[in-house]
Amino acid sequence: MSESTPAALPTVVIGAGPIGLAAAAHLLERGIEPLVLEAGPSAAGAVRDWSHVRLFSTWAEVVDPAAEKLLAPTGWTRPAPDTYPSGGDWADDYLQPLAEILGDKVRTGARVTGVSRSGRDRIVDADREAQPFVVHITHADDREERIVARAVIDASGTWATPSPAGGSGLPALGEKAAGDHITYRVPDLNDPSVHARYAGKRTAVIGSGASAFTALASLTSLAKADDGTGTKGVWILRRGISGSTFGGGEADQLHARGALGLAAKAAVDDGHADAVTGFRTDAIERDTGGRLILVAEDGRRLEAVDEVIVLTGFRPDLTFLDELRLGLDERLQAPIELAPLIDPNQHSCGTVYPHGHRELSHPEQGIYLVGMKSYGRAPTFLAMTGYEQVRSVVAALAGDEESADRVELTLPETGVCGGAGLFDTPNADEEAAGGCCAPAPALIQLGAPGTAQTPASGGC
């Protein structure tokens, strides 16, 4: 190890989002030098992309304890713990101040393009674990740099790699060509140009999670606006309607998350959206007027729509980790030991067992995927999960095995029954899906009576 001794090297954290910044705070608390590398021009760039969306976790659940300790001497106080921040609130009132406290330990405009062992590609065994990591970076001005690190914590998330509309996991035929009328994010209907794009239009929403609920609720609000006459949603579901389709409702221990699913149910019940079930998109075509026609694998063709919102989840970008020896589940692309704990094909009632550094480890010692990226393609990640992950990982890096193994995390249950194992069965009933069923959904109020709130998000 010619460039430096291990203890003198920084631990590189990839991504200056909520989990990456929390990792830096925990590293500092343990006396380990962090270096956070953020591809965007500022911290929390991905969160800012959905600044208009309200979280379904409260402030009490989205502030990391080590980060709060770091901020406390500056006079920072956490907003009211029982209120729900938007993405913009989270970024402006917590993440940006945290990045500023970390100072030059956070570098923006620094995109990680590769990680390896010094002098060792993934084939070479000899003396491998004794070598530091090398991290290749491309800066915003195209300047390249190599950084040597004692360990790497990848908290880069999955925001930049949304899944396509195609039911096979590949883009539908014609999907790229129709890109001018497709978005892979929940649109900000408060933006005048975006508002005009969807007002009075027929819009397909593809997806079955909290982001799809958010989009449906937003389109419903638009349909009720003075200039929203004619706004209509078409909700495309790959499976059938069942008791869990709209989430856990009042059985969801995160009440705002339950209310979000009920808002989507209301959109369908009130006629603002039509649900199309068992529809796996195979192609997207244009009619003679330029509108889009969705075609299913079974040959069904839907009435033309003006816009398509694809909210089918995200997947991890693993390309820059290709020279490392990762142990990833073949389906979820999550760490092998973690995958069974979060597998949506198996899980019942939304339970995720506590996990830490052991479940997040890989054959390549010293590299950890944390946060949303650790879940691979699995959904329902919560910020509090990521905070406990990095606390455990940093304790392990500090040699405090007792603390690293003492993972204490109790997540609120979703109240949703069964996994996604019956994904391809349009009319699967709830009993077949795995039992432990929630009561029939009932509409509950989100926010104070008479106040408008942006629908909650699927992020945290």
- Sequence-distant (6+) residues with CB within 8 A of 186 are 50, 52, 53, 211, 214, 215, 218, 309, 311, 457
Neighbours of 127 (CB within 10 A): 11
Tell me: pLDDT of 213 over 60: yes
pLDDT in tens, 13-45: 999 999 999 999 999 999 999 999 999 999 999
What pLDDT score was predicted for residue 247? 58
pLDDT, averaged across the chain? 86
Tokens describing residue 74:
């500056």
CA angle 297, 303, 305 (to 5 degrees): 100
pLDDT bracket for residue 347 (50, 70, 90)? low
What pLDDT score was predicted for residue 256? 59
Query: What average pLDDT does the segment 407-430 reach?
Result: 44
- Sequence-distant (6+) residues with CB within 8 A of 315 are 158, 161, 162, 163, 333, 376, 377
Query: What average pLDDT does the segment 339-343 reach?
Result: 90
Lowest mean pLDDT among 119-123, 327-331, 351-355: 351-355
Cα(373)–Cα(382) distance, rounded to whole angstroms?
A: 12
Distances (CA, A) of 370 to 171, 261, 328, 339: 27, 27, 13, 13
Distances (CA, A) of 313 to 116, 186, 344: 28, 12, 12
pLDDT in tens, 236-266: 998 876 555 555 555 555 555 667 778 888 8
Tell me: pLDDT of 443 over 70: no
Higher pLDDT, 308 or 211: 308
pLDDT in tens, 365-389: 999 999 999 999 998 788 999 999 9
- Sequence-distant (6+) residues with CB within 8 A of 290 are none
Tell me: pLDDT of 415 over 60: no
